[in-house]
Amino acid sequence: MSAEHFANIWHAFGWETKVINGHSFLDLLDWNFSSIRPKVIIAQTKKGKGISFMEEKVEWHHGVPTENQIQIAREELSWT
């Protein structure tokens, strides 16, 4: 289901909602709400973003990488 679908559900229960890019620090820091109603932020993200062998692969939600895979991930994320 889309983030907008979940936002509509929260909105139906009286919450003010905002859908943002969960990979953007600017979006995470730059949100504004206009009412005193309860608020919810729905951050859209990709599992494993930035790591070629993990991105959008649901099995990595609980997988344990090998030492070699950790090294590859660090290189791809520039953590060398």
Q: Bridge partners of 42?
A: 19
What is the pLDDT at residue 79? 66
Q: CA nearest 17: which of 30, 29, 31, 27? A: 31
Give the largest CA-CA distance in the chain. 50
pTM of the model: 0.67
Sequence-ordered strand ranges (E) for the chain = 16-21, 39-44
What is the pLDDT at residue 33? 78
Q: CA nearest 55: which of 73, 33, 79? A: 73
What is the mean pLDDT for each group of 10 consecutive residues in the chain (80 residues)? 92 94 88 85 91 92 92 86
* Residue whose entry in the numeric block shows the structure tokens 């909602």: 17
